[in-house]
Amino acid sequence: MRRSEFLRAVDDEFQARASSLVNDLVLGPLGNRTALEALEDGAPPRDIWLALCAEMDVPENRRHGAGRLEPRRR
C-alpha cells in the first residue's frame, strides 16, 4: 500500500472523520503515535491502515485492497 492509497482508503472508509482520526487518534500498535506521526516516521502505510482498522472495528472484508484505484483499461 502506498501513502496515496492509504489516504484514499481512510477518506473512503471514515469520510468526515478521516482527518481527525489520522491526526488525533493515538494507536498503541504504532508505538502510541497517531497515523500521521507514524507516516512521517516512515512506518509502512499498510501497517498504519490495519492498526487504524482494528482500532475502529472496520470489518475484515473492508480492510484488504482498500484505497486502490481500478486498473486502467486499454
Buried residues in 18-53 as b, exposed as e (16+ CB within 10 A): beebbeebebeebeebbbebbbeeebebbebbbbbb
Q: Which of 20, 24, 66, 1 is nearest to 58 (CA)?
A: 66
Q: What is the pLDDT of residues 26-73, one digit of tens each?
A: 999 999 999 999 999 999 999 999 999 999 999 988 887 677 666 555
- Tell whether the model's pLDDT for residue 25 goes beyond 80: yes
pTM of structure: 0.85
Q: What is the predicted pLDDT for the residue at 74?
A: 59
Q: What is the predicted pLDDT for the residue at 35?
A: 96
Q: What is the predicted pLDDT for the residue at 31?
A: 95
* CA gap 72, 62 in Å, rounded: 22
